[in-house]
Amino acid sequence: MLKLVLMVVGLVGMGVFMISGCSSFGTLPSKENNESFKTSAHFDAKAETFVNRRPDILKEMRERSMNFATFKEFIFGNGEERTPKKKLPETKPDFVEFVKPSPEMKVAWFGHSTVLLNFDGKMILIDPVLSKSTGPLGFLMKRFQDPVVELNELPPIDVVVISHDHYDHLDTDSIKFFKNKSTKFLVPLGVGAHLKGWGISSDRIQELDWWQTAKLEDITFIATPAQHFSGRGFWNQNKSLWASWVIKSHRHNVFFSGDSGYDIHFKEIGEKLGPFDIAFVESGQYNEKWREVHMLPEESVAAFKDLNAKRYFPIHWGMFTLALHSWREPLEKLTLAAEQNGMTLVTPKIGEVVTINDHYLSTRWWDESTTVQK
C-alpha cells in the first residue's frame, strides 16, 4: 500500500510538473548571486549553500531522525486530532478601521505565520500564505479552512517581509498577486531569485544578510539570525538564507521569529535589539525528531524570555498539519506555561484585529471556552 501511495504521488507530481512547469518550485540564485554571497559568514562558498551557526546540525538531525519510520508515522499516523473537527472561529477584519492612523500598533493574524501590521501607518505583511493550498502539490499542504480574506481585499501593502522560502511561508500565488503593485519586498539572501522568477521586478526587492538593515522612512527592518534551513525541492536545499526579523521605530519594537530551533541567537538578539513590545514566536509543528529546526514548547518559552519581550504572540500553528501533535496542543501547553511564568499572551482568533496595548485580553477560543486568560 505504501509503495502504491508513493507511486501515485510521484505520478501526480510529474503531471503537475509537466502541466505547470512547476514554477512554484522557484528559481535558483544565479552564479553572480553566489559570488556576492561569499561575503556572508553564513555561506559555504565551496558547497554554494547557506549554513547555521553550527554547520553540521542539519546533517546530524537527518541522520538521526529523517528515515522511513518517520515518513510512515507522518503519513499514516493516527491518534492525535491533527486537524480540527469543524471550522475554527474567525473574524472578518474591518480594514477601513485597520488602516486608520494610530499611535498604537494594530495586528491581524491570518493563521500559521501570516501577519499583517499597521506599523506607524505603514502596512507590513509578513510571510503571506493566502491561497487555498500551497506547495507544488497543493493537496499535500491544504489549509484547515479557506483564508479569512482574499488577497484583493487587503489594504495597499507597503512592504512584504519573508522569513525563508518554505512553502508555508513563501506562497507562489500570494507573491504573484503583487506583481503589478508598488509593494516592496524584504527577504533573506537568495530568496529574491524566487520572487524575480514570479514576476517581481528586482528594483522592488532588497535581500539582507543577518544583522543587515533596511529603512522605510522612520521604520528600520533588521534581518536577524535563525536556526533552520531552506529549499523548495530536493535540488535546491539551503540555496537561500533563512532569518528572523526585527521591525522598529521610535514608537514600536517588534520581533518575528520565522522558523527556528532554539540556540543562542535569541539571547543575542534580545541583548542587542530588545526589549521588544511584542514577539511573534514559532509555537507549533514541533517534534523531538526535528527540534533542531522547530522549537519544542519549553524552548519557545525560553526563547521568549531570552528576547526580553513584553508580550508573546504565538505563530506557526492553527492552519496546517505539519507535525504529529494535535492542532490545539501548542496553545494548551503555552497557556499553562504562561500561567506558570507570568507571560502575557496575545492569541486572537483568525482575522481578529488586535491593538497592542495593556487592555487586550486573550480568550481560549481554541477549546471553545470563554475563560479569560489573565
Reported as a single tens digit per residue, the pLDDT across 153-176 is 999 999 999 999 999 999 999 999
- Between β-strands 49-50 and 106-109, what pairing exists: parallel, antiparallel or unpaired? unpaired
- Distant-in-sequence, close-in-space partners of 71: CB < 8 Å, separation ≥ 6: none
In the structure, how many helices (H) and strands (E) does the chain have? 10, 18
* pLDDT tens profile 89-112: 999 999 999 999 999 999 999 999
Q: 120: pLDDT confidence band, cut at 50, 70 and 90?
A: very high
Whether the CB-CB separation of 141 and 323 falls below 8 Å is answered with no
Q: Is 282 exposed, middle or buried (0-12, 13-18, 19+ CB in 10 A)?
A: buried
Whether the CB-CB separation of 244 and 226 falls below 8 Å is answered with yes
Which amino acid, residue 351? G
- Best CA proximity match to 256, nearest among 329, 178, 311: 311
Which amino acid, residue 241? L
> For 79-84, what is the mean pLDDT?
83
pLDDT at 363: 86
Distance between CA atoms of 284 and 282, rounded to whole angstroms? 6
Task: Say whether pLDDT at 19 is over 50.
Answer: no
- Reported in sequence order, the residue ranges of 57-158 that DSSP labels E, i.e. its strands, are 106-109, 115-119, 122-126
pLDDT at 1: 46
* pLDDT tens profile 290-342: 999 999 999 999 999 999 999 999 999 999 999 999 999 999 999 999 999 99
pLDDT at 17: 45
The CA distances from residue 291 to 53, 67, 225, in Å, are 15, 15, 17
Specify the DSSP class assigned to residue 133: B
* pLDDT tens profile 202-248: 999 999 999 999 999 999 999 999 999 999 988 889 999 999 999 99
- Distant-in-sequence, close-in-space partners of 320: CB < 8 Å, separation ≥ 6: 112, 141, 142, 143, 144, 168, 285
Task: Please report which residue ranges of the chain form alpha helices under DSSP H.
Answer: 2-20, 31-37, 57-65, 68-76, 95-98, 172-176, 192-197, 265-273, 297-307, 329-341
> For 66-91, what is the mean pLDDT?
79
Q: How is residue 263 written as a grid cell? A: 540556540
pLDDT at 135: 74
> For 74-102, what is the mean pLDDT?
87
In CATH, what class is 95-373? alpha beta
Distance between CA atoms of 315 and 21, rounded to whole angstroms? 32
Going from N- to C-terminal start, the domains of the chain cover 95-373
pLDDT over 70 percentage in the chain = 89
> What pTM, to 2 d.p., does this model score?
0.91
